[in-house]
Amino acid sequence: MSWTKRILLFISSAFLAAGFYFASVLNGWFVPAATPASVSDLITPHLTVYRPEGDGPFKTILMFHGCGGDAEQQQFWGKTFQSMGYAAVYVDSYAGRGISHERALAKVCRGRELLGAQRAGDVLAAITWANQQAWTAKQDIVLMGWSHGAWSIMDAFALDQKGELPYGLEQQFTADLTSIRQVVLFYPYCGMASQTNEQGWQQAPTVLAIDVAEDSVVDSNACLQSYDWISKSGVGVQHHVLEGVDHAFDVDAVSQRENRTYRTAKPESLEAIEQVKLLLRNFLDRS
């Protein structure tokens, strides 16, 4: 065999191997098998609960962080919802898996680990846990996600539509999505590997989607296609676009981390948060 043919064969093999790896990641082929109990064991010990005084039952907001896993952001919103009279639960998808901030940025944010279709199992685990708490209003649980967390929520609904389980999950949780009446999506990821850019949802919660006009991280046009799919399923989608702010503007508003790179200046991000508080209050008070 000539050297030219050998080189071409090597290049072809490399492309095939890369294609197989890419497909395996997108389809979750390398995700370890997990039972509902094992996923719950990763999630429930690391939940942070913010709830008003009293026994409830309270409308409960399950909060799913973005790929950066910013705890300050989640603490801010948890306390905000608590002051509004709602219970809120920060669902940390990283602590139980040993995913550091650096690893999250290098792998999760780049789509190399914990895709939305796998993290959709965390969504079901959190719903199952919430249904077991005496202080939650079982028919008034809200799913709220930021970027990667919003992607995970959307994938949970899209996989449910296809009759498929989250990546790696061996069997269904005792709780499902049928009781979810409201969903809030902050600047969601809707690009490659998102299940909702291919089809709609079977369940029909009311959706509040909050996007930003100057998003430097995700393609807003892809999200418009996803919202269209969801709307065609009979789901009500309220779409709001915030001007003058970038992706993760609320992280910029509340972060005290030193040497942080800010996408949006503090004054603009704080102003946007006040707008969002009004949107959320009007949305959450409707049911």
At residue 192 the predicted structure's pLDDT band, cuts being 50, 70 and 90, is: confident
At residue 1 the predicted structure's pLDDT band, cuts being 50, 70 and 90, is: low
Distance between CA 224 and CA 245 in Å, rounded?
A: 18
Is the predicted pLDDT of residue 5 greater than 80, yes or no? no
Distance between CA 30 and CA 231 in Å, rounded?
A: 33
What is the per-residue DSSP string for the chain? --HHHHHHHHHHHHHHHHHHHHHHHHTTTTSPPB-HHHHHHHHGGG-EEE--SSS--EEEEEEE--TT--HHHHHHHHHHHHHTT-EEEEE-SSGGGT--HHHIIIIITTTSSS-HHHHHHHHHHHHHHHHT-TTEEEEEEEEEEETHHHHHHHHHHHHHHHT-PPTTB-S--SS-STT--EEEEES---STT-GGGT---SS--EEEEEEETT-SSS-HHHHHHHHHHHHHTT--EEEEEETT--TTHHHHHH---TTPPPSS-HHHHHHHHHHHHHHHHHHHTT-
Q: What is the pLDDT of residue 213?
A: 92
Q: What is the pLDDT of residues 9-65, one digit of tens each?
A: 445 444 443 343 344 445 554 678 999 999 999 999 999 999 999 998 999 999 999
Q: What is the pLDDT of residues 203-234, one digit of tens each?
A: 999 999 999 998 999 887 889 989 998 998 88
The candidate with the shortest Cα–Cα distance to 75, out of 58, 57, 60, 63, is: 63
**Dihedrals phi, psi of 50, to nearest 5 degrees:** -120, 115
* Residues near 47 by beta carbon (within 8 Å), at least 6 away in sequence: 89, 90, 91, 92, 126, 129
Looking at the chain, the whole-number percentage of residues with pLDDT higher than 70 is 89
Higher-pLDDT residue of 239 and 261 is 239
**Cα 251 from chain centre:** 15
**Lowest-pLDDT range, 63-67, 250-254, 261-265?**
261-265
Distance between CA 64 and CA 90 in Å, rounded?
A: 7
Q: What is the pLDDT of residue 10?
A: 44
Please tell me what DSSP assigns to residue 93: S
Determine the CATH number of domain 31-284.
3.40.50.1820
Residue ranges per structural domain of the chain: 1-29, 31-284
Distance between CA 87 and CA 78 in Å, rounded?
A: 8
Is the predicted pLDDT of residue 77 greater than 90, yes or no? yes
Residue 58, strand partner residues: 136
Distance between CA 30 and CA 33 in Å, rounded?
A: 9
Distance between CA 124 and CA 65 in Å, rounded?
A: 15
Inter-residue contact 160 to 183 (CB < 8 Å): no
Distance between CA 69 and CA 265 in Å, rounded?
A: 20
Q: What is the pLDDT of residues 239-248, one digit of tens each?
A: 999 999 999 9
Inter-residue contact 264 to 249 (CB < 8 Å): yes
Average pLDDT for the chain? 89
Q: What is the pLDDT of residues 87-98, one digit of tens each?
A: 999 999 999 999
Q: What is the pLDDT of residues 113-143, one digit of tens each?
A: 999 999 999 999 999 999 999 999 988 999 9
Q: What is the pLDDT of residue 3?
A: 54
